[in-house]
């Protein structure tokens, strides 16, 4: 669970990729409790990916009323495509993280750092 909520209204969403992940691109899957899912493939640069929220996500997908959100990483090159990538966070092996978005305005860049 990501402890600090992310302020809403962001234009860019920066996500750190698990340290164990070594490929050049990764699939990100973000799911809402109602089952609505966003999935995209991104290049990994210096251990992070950047999602252009305004151009790539459906309007209003990330908002203070839509969570908690679940984030999973999927290796597009794995022999079992579509399965979440397992990684270690806080000493525990997990296949995703959960977070909520705090109501706010004007934040240009939002981020999730898995190892903060």
Give the CATH number for residue 37: 2.60.40
Phi, psi for residue 51 in degrees, rounded to 5: -105, 125
The pLDDT assigned to 4 comes to 47
For residue 116, pLDDT beyond 80: no
Is residue 115 in some structural domain? no
Question: Does the structure show a pLDDT above 70 at 3?
Answer: no
d(CA 89, CA 85): 12
Residue 102 lies in a domain: yes
Neighbouring C-beta atoms of residue 49, cutoff 10 Å: 19
Given phi > 0 = left and psi -120 to 50 = alpha, else beta, which region is 95?
A: alpha
pTM of the complete model beyond 0.85:
no
Check whether the bond before 68 is cis (ω within 30° of 0): yes
What is the predicted pLDDT for the residue at 60? 78
pLDDT in tens, 70-93: 999 998 888 777 889 888 888 889
Place of tokens 């899957």: 29
């Amino acid at each position: 669970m990501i402890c600090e909520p992310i302020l809403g209204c962001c234009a860019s969403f920066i996500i750190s990729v698990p340290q164990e992940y070594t490929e050049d691109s990764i699939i990100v899957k973000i799911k809402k409790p109602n089952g609505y899912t966003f999935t995209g493939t991104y290049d990994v640069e210096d251990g992070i990916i950047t999602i252009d929220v305004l151009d790539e996500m459906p309007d209003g997908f990330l908002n203070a009323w839509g969570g908690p959100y679940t984030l999973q990483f999927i290796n597009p090159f794995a022999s079992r495509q579509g399965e979440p990538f397992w990684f270690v966070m806080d000493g525990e092996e997990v296949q995703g993280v959960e977070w909520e978005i705090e109501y706010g305005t004007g934040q240009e860049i939002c981020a999730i750092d898995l190892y903060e």
